A and B are shown apart, each in its own frame.
Chain A
Amino acid sequence: MRKTSPAISFLTICLVCLVFASSCGRQNADVIVAGSTSVQPYAEILAEEYERLYPGNAVDVQGGGSAAGITAVQSGAADIGMSSRALKDGEKSLWSVEIAKDGLAIVVNPQNPVTDLTLEQIRKIYSAEITDWSEAGGTRAKIHIITREEGSGTRSAFEDLVMAGGRISAGAIVQDSNGTVRQLVSSDKNSIGFISLGLVDGTVKAVSLGGVEASAANIENGAYGLSRPFLFVCLGEPEGRARQFIDFVLSGEGQRVLTHEGLIPRAEGAVK
């Protein structure tokens, strides 16, 4: 007991110094990728594949939403940001590259009799002009609208493509990732939400848009209009390990992984 106390004080002083010393320079060499929850699952698969092929190169993937990813890149917290929407005016100074295209699916509960909606109907539902399923071809029940948080790229894409200037109703339920929206829609019979097309599975049903089914094929041929780019964003021209990872993602190998998972290949094709 009598020996430990000076030791404790000494240790504390060391720690305090460590804290200040640590703020000088980062020592972790992992590539940090953060942002869109739509891009995230694909980035994680790419990261696993990348590490398998090039052991020792670590890539850490986090979510948070498109805006969070862009903010993280600007603040230096992340090396690469993931975005599921095109860059806005204030962000145009950042370096970006499209890694794939993804569709935006409007989903409802599998038990909901509605299978088709027009863009106009969806807009009216989300702005609360239509509040009951019976007005949209379903049974009498109050519609529970589910949207994403403001910083979501998916929401931005939805607002640009569907709302066309109108605002999503303030009474809409807000969830913070594709996964949570999907969970909610699958458990609430009267709900409607929008998620990444690639994440639609058996638990929810994607409605067709004016008769056009939501599928990768229909996006490629242009029949289904709701699609958005998946971007990797960096503060400036990427270098070092970040560059290596991005090169991998754009290569034939990386693109093959993405199309295999259900995404639409980028317009420019794979980079040799």
Chain B
Amino acid sequence: MRRFKEKLSGRIFFVLALSSISALALITVFIVAKGAPIFVKVGVRDFVFGMSWAPGHGEFGIFPMIVGTLSVTLGAAVLGVPLGICCSIFLTEFAPSVLKSVFRPAIQLLAGIPSVVYGFWGLIFVVPFIRDRIGGPGLSILAGSVILAIMILPTVIMISEVSILALPRQYKQNALALGLTHWQTIRSVMLPAAKSGIVAAVILGVGRAVGETMAVIMVLGNAVALPKSILDPVRTLTTNIGIEMGYASGEHQQALFATGIVLFILIMILNSAAQFITRRK
């Protein structure tokens, strides 16, 4: 009986694992199968670098959307990464413990706010601010970058903090014993040592920015043209899917799945880079 139970439980775990893996494989296969035909029909080059997205006229070029994703993500990184790293240094080196116990939960709360709430807040505050004080319609790359910067802060802060905390105490103590000031210690000893973890944090934050849809769909303006300035409205790969998936059929639908494949590849590249960098340590 015991042997049977043993075998049965082993089998059950195996079945569960097999089911999970099949389900996840199903998604991958389905998306690739549905999206690949458009690469054949339109050609990879014309799809990825095509300048015109007009499904009603049979045009499926996603380059403006790639530019949209990259520019919004870059903007978010430029704004969010320095801020995030500074905050993680704050948490590990400068914050008195009372403040620490407030700051850390605050960051976690920031991580939990639904993206639609961020998007809405951006629509009420950031967009009018840009429209009235800076220029353009307000719905723009800049608005998207600001919102995404806030959204990736928790990721960057928390993972960077973990990397810095993981450093052996020796590093800091030895540097201070040698006469370096606090900041010199951080700058020349601790940060370089935690570099791989921090870079991984940044890459994961960027990955989150690339995948965000609902927050940005409200503030980007969703124009299909190639943006010429950060004040122009723009569309990302994700918002493109979000706007059109409800009614896309036939080739149009295939093109959206193909966009999904592009996103897949982008995320895989980012993930591999993060893993590679953390492994090198």
Contact = CB atoms under 8 A, between A and B. Distances in A.
Indicate yes or no for A touching B, C-beta below 8 A: yes
Interface of A: 5, 9, 12-13, 16, 64-71, 74, 144, 149-151, 167, 169-176, 184, 187-188, 190-191
B211 interface: no
Q: How large is the interface on B (under 10, 10 to 19, 20 to 34, 35 or more residues)?
A: 20 to 34
Interface in B232-258: 232-233, 235, 243-244, 246-249
B137 A173 contact: yes
A68 B221 contact: no
Contacts of B44: none
Contacts of B249: 71, 74
A172 B54 CA distance: 13
Interface string B118-155: 00000000001001000001110000000000000000
B247 A64 contact: yes
23 contacts: A9-B12, A9-B16, A64-B247, A65-B247, A66-B247, A67-B246, A68-B246, A68-B247, A144-B137, A149-B243, A150-B54, A150-B247, A167-B57, A170-B224, A171-B233, A173-B139, A173-B223, A174-B222, A174-B235, A175-B222, A184-B139, A188-B131, A188-B137
B189 to A, nearest CB: 48
Contacts of A191: 137
A187 B137 CA distance: 10
Given A190-B137, A191-B137, 11 more contacts: A9-B12, A13-B15, A71-B246, A71-B248, A71-B249, A150-B55, A170-B54, A171-B233, A172-B223, A173-B223, A184-B139
Contact of B223 (A70, A150, A151, A174): A174
A12 B248 CA distance: 35
Contacts of B137: 144, 173, 188, 190-191
Contacts of A172: 223
A170 B52 contact: yes
A16 B19 contact: yes
Contacts of B233: 171, 173
Contact of B243 (A69, A171, A176): A176
A125 to B, nearest CB: 14
A170 B232 CA distance: 12
Contacts of A171: 223, 225, 232-233
B105 interface: no
A234 to B, nearest CB: 17
Interface string B1-31: 0000000010010011001000000000000
B149 to A, nearest CB: 22
B35 to A, nearest CB: 18
B56 interface: yes
Contacts of B12: 9
Contacts of A66: 247
A68 to B, nearest CB: 4
Interface in B134-192: 137-139
Closest 8 CB pairs of A and B: A151-B247, A67-B247, A170-B225, A68-B247, A68-B246, A174-B222, A171-B225, A64-B246
A169 B225 CA distance: 8
A92 to B, nearest CB: 16
Contacts of A16: 19
Nearest to A152: B247
B16 A173 contact: no
A176 B247 CA distance: 12
Contacts of A74: 249
A229 B222 CA distance: 28
A132 B213 CA distance: 32
A176 B243 CA distance: 7
Contacts of B224: 170, 174
Nearest to A171: B225
B27 to A, nearest CB: 15
- Max chain A C-beta neighbours (<10 A), residue from B52, B137, B224, B246: B246
Nearest to B243: A149
Contact of A12 (B16, B54, B56): B16
A76 to B, nearest CB: 13
B232 A150 contact: no
Contacts of B247: 64-71, 150-151
Contacts of A69: 247
Contacts of A12: 16
Contacts of B19: 16
A151 B128 contact: no
A137 to B, nearest CB: 21
Contacts of A167: 54, 57
